[in-house]
Structure 1
Amino acid sequence: MAALFFVNGFTYTNVVPWLPAIKDGLGLSNAALGTAIAAMPFGALLTGMLAGPLIGRFGSGRVAVASGVLGAGVLPLVAAAPGWGTLAAALFALGCADAWMDPAMNAHALRVQLRYGRSIINLFHALWSIAAVSGGLVGASMAQLGVPLPVHLGVVAVLLVAAVLAASPFLLPGPEHAERGIGGGSTQGPRELLRRARPAVGALLALSLLLMLAGAIEDAAASWGAVYTHGELGAPLMLASLPFIACQSMMTVGRLTGDRLTDRFGAVAVARGGMLLAAAGMAGALLWPQTAPTIAGFGLVGLGVATLFPLTLAAAGEIPGVRSGDGVVIVGWLGRLGSLTLPPLVGMVADASSLGTALWLVPVGSLCAVLLAATLRPRA
């Protein structure tokens, strides 16, 4: 199970450091590159709801393995793309694979957690964070050393496929949702999936909004940390990346310790405490606009938001009367849909005033998450 989370976090992050080289090699404009990259979330949104029927028909373990192989297999196509269309198509396929693997591996992780007898979902997401950072570092190192892109991504693809296939025999056997005692698999499509989940629509929408906030707060450091630190605080470029590094590092720490805290204090208390910490960290950084407090503030944001994403997915997989895979798929899909609107909102507010003003949306969103955290309370 851990191997699947590592593979998912490691796959696309190997591509990210190569994006400037891909842009130059294909002669793309900034807008063209951005549009090609946008094919990834578009593919995820367009096909993400298929994950529920796939999990119901084949089981979360098999879907996670198959989509992991698909995602790794697409990497060489990214390297070999001769033009914009092929690049966009490869990234579209990568988005589809991620949209199927993400709910499948989380649904299977919930099965493992139920058998384990205590919270371990945060540990899996900690491994994902470590893999994401590792993938970026490997990609940057290969680019710096001058290793050809097709060689790099080809070798990575082979290793990832081998890792996924090696993990396959260790996944849980038996029917899906056996640990919860809910009805077995189904081949019904997305419309039927939504119809069956209708009685729990309030909980699903609340958890989806909570997942949107988690994604937006996590994204703040990646999207705006360097821009704010360099553009508005005048920090050198060498220091401008530190808000993101601090956020990711502290997020990993939070996820490594999150399961123990969840077992002791409960998901609601952990989420509320974390989001209050995130709000305080971002507010402190904005009220004290200097480089060091800003880096520390983004670090606190990462520590505070660390458990919100895994705890929300875990709650989505435990809604009474809704099968684990269906709950995770619906909440994850709606969460992706909302996350596309929040980063542009920050940009529009920043253009109308300043980025420092726009980033106040982070503590506001954190406080909204505090109110919504009651949705994480286990249901009878």
Structure 2
Amino acid sequence: MQSSPASTLRRAHRGVVATFALVGVVNGILAARLPGLAAKLGLDTGDVGLVILSWGVAATVTMQCMRWIVAALGNRLLLRVGTPLITVAVGLIALSSSFPLLLAAAAGFGVASGIAEAMMNAQGSLVERRAGRPLMNGFHAGWSAGAVTGGLLAVLLAALDVSYTASVLGVAAVAFPLALAVGWSYLDEPAEKEEATHRRNLPGVVYLIGVVAFLALLIEGLVADWSGLFLVRDLRTTEAVAAIAYPAYELATFSGRLFGDRLRLRYGSRSILAVAGTTTALGVLLVVLAPSAVWAIAGFGLTGLAVCVVVPLCMSLAGALAPGRPDAAIAQVSAIGYAGLLVGPVLIGFVAEATSLRIGIATAIAVALLITAASSRIPQRLPAEPEFASEAAGTPAGVGHDSSQAPRQP
């Protein structure tokens, strides 16, 4: 018996949330146990920076390629491949016994992440457009919930003295069959047909949104990759306490994203970005001035609470601003944005080598203020938002019509 359009949409909604959560879990345990990886292979700050560079370059190049590949294959097929590949790559990182093997595994993780991260945002945008209401912050809240789970699991395993290899490999083994199973819930739509002469001519605002995503993800990468090492090496805390920083950050992002879609409806895109950038700068400043681990963790939490709404908003708007080519627009924003995860941690690593990790982290204050500055170039209300206005007024979008027939382009 064929499912109704409404039940298919609900199943896809749950599937996208589950996908974001799975990817969040594996990223959470990788980030929180990074000091364990450094200890296992005897890595110094520069070595860690090279590992992050290997992953980041692979992810960024892959995401840029996704803009054209998705036009031929569609996001459902690519996401069904990319999500399980992430879990395989994480397992290879856990099994790496030397620095060269670790660099290769990190590059593989970057390729898998490049596919999955871009395509799960494209799938989320498709579900959002079919539903006729903003959902992207909710999907990213699933990622945050997964990252919190992975991070707290890392704290527990570190406290129990479970080895880095056993911890990360165990999570990857559990996540792999789940990633395969959830793939059958995704929505399908015809692959985008782009004329060759138009492939480089996405609307200019798409690239601006990509820059804003780049700035936000630079800060997110800083927290993910350096928070634990900062607490251990600068504030002299234990590895178990240091592992709390990342799940605390992700718990804050989860909380913020629960309200992100409502805030977007109420205040508009420009206001959300301006406040997020300024508050993020204050959070990083608290980290830099922190005299103890408690204050630093609080600063990372404030940073997460503020910056968390930026990337979901960017992905949602990208899908709305390129009629007929939402997947290509999201892939392009992903490629620009996720380069921030490459540049940020590597920049911090180089600055930390020359000065100190505290000074390196301080560079993120200027980056956050650039988000505030860039927000002035974003219209207060973009085409994606008037369609959702009924929900802000208390009338659920889609009432009185089949949500599966909602306009595919806001």
Q: TM-score range by the shorter chain?
A: 0.7 to 0.9
1:366 shift after superposition: 2.3
1:129 maps to which residue? 144
Structure 2 Cα separation of the partners of residues 353 and 37 of structure 1: 19
Structure 1 Cα separation of the partners of residues 382 and 95 of structure 2: 48
Q: Return the TM-score normalized by structure 2.
A: 0.75
For the residue of structure 2 that corresponds to 1:317, the secondary structure is helix
> Are residues 159 and 41 of structure 1, via their aligned partners in 2, closer, same or farther at CA, if it must alter by over 3 Å?
same
1:138-153 equivalence runs, <5 A: 138-142=153-157, 145=160
1:1-380 equivalence runs, <5 A: 1-16=16-31, 29-30=43-44, 34-142=49-157, 145=160, 155-176=170-191, 184-185=192-193, 192=196, 196-200=199-203, 202-223=204-225, 225=227, 236-237=237-238, 244-283=246-285, 290-291=291-292, 294-321=296-323, 323-346=325-348, 359-373=361-375, 374-375=377-378, 377-379=381-383
Q: Return the TM-score normalized by structure 1.
A: 0.80
Read off the aligned partner of 1:302 and give its amino acid letter. G
Structure 2: stretches of 5+ with no match in the other structure: 1-15, 385-410
1:101 shift after superposition: 0.6
1:179 maps to which residue? none
More deviation, 275-284/365-374: 275-284
Q: Judge conservation of contact 2:269–2:378 (CA < 8 Å) in 1.
A: no
Read off the aligned partner of 1:173 and give its amino acid letter. D
How big is each residue's C-alpha offset from its partner over 1:214-246, in whole Å with a ceiling of 9 and x where there is no partner?
0122234445556666776x5755766665454
Structure 2 Cα separation of the partners of residues 290 and 297 of structure 1: 11
> Are residues 241 and 18 of structure 1, via their aligned partners in 2, closer, same or farther at CA, if it must alter by over 3 Å?
closer
Q: Judge conservation of contact 1:125–1:310 (CA < 8 Å) in 2.
A: yes
- The alignment yields a C-alpha RMSD, in angstroms, of 3.5
For the residue of structure 1 that corresponds to 2:133, the secondary structure is coil
Read off the aligned partner of 1:363 and give its amino acid letter. I
Q: Which has the higher contact order (CA 8 A, sep 6+)?
A: 2
Q: Judge conservation of contact 1:50–1:100 (CA < 8 Å) in 2.
A: no
How big is each residue's C-alpha offset from its partner over 1:112-147, in whole Å with a ceiling of 9 and x where there is no partner?
111222211111111111212222333454455466
> Are residues 116 and 359 of structure 1, via their aligned partners in 2, closer, same or farther at CA, if it must alter by over 3 Å?
same
* Identical columns (%): 26
> Are residues 153 and 224 of structure 1, via their aligned partners in 2, closer, same or farther at CA, if it must alter by over 3 Å?
closer
1:41 shift after superposition: 1.5
Read off the aligned partner of 1:41 and give its amino acid letter. G
Q: Judge conservation of contact 2:31–2:225 (CA < 8 Å) in 1.
A: no
Q: Judge conservation of contact 2:49–2:346 (CA < 8 Å) in 1.
A: no
> Are residues 72 and 285 of structure 1, via their aligned partners in 2, closer, same or farther at CA, if it must alter by over 3 Å?
closer
1:180 maps to which residue? none
Q: Judge conservation of contact 2:221–2:340 (CA < 8 Å) in 1.
A: no
Structure 2 Cα separation of the partners of residues 235 and 28 of structure 1: 18
> Are residues 72 and 352 of structure 1, via their aligned partners in 2, closer, same or farther at CA, if it must alter by over 3 Å?
closer
Read off the aligned partner of 2:370 and give its amino acid letter. C
Q: Judge conservation of contact 1:3–1:163 (CA < 8 Å) in 2.
A: no
Q: Judge conservation of contact 1:122–1:307 (CA < 8 Å) in 2.
A: yes
> Are residues 160 and 261 of structure 1, via their aligned partners in 2, closer, same or farther at CA, if it must alter by over 3 Å?
same
Q: Judge conservation of contact 2:152–2:247 (CA < 8 Å) in 1.
A: no
Read off the aligned partner of 1:375 and give its amino acid letter. I
2:8 maps to which residue? none
Structure 2 Cα separation of the partners of residues 317 and 140 of structure 1: 37
Structure 1: stretches of 5+ with no match in the other structure: 177-183
Aligned residue pairs, count: 364
Read off the aligned partner of 1:40 and give its amino acid letter. W
For the residue of structure 1 that corresponds to 2:320, the secondary structure is coil
More deviation, 166-175/255-264: 166-175
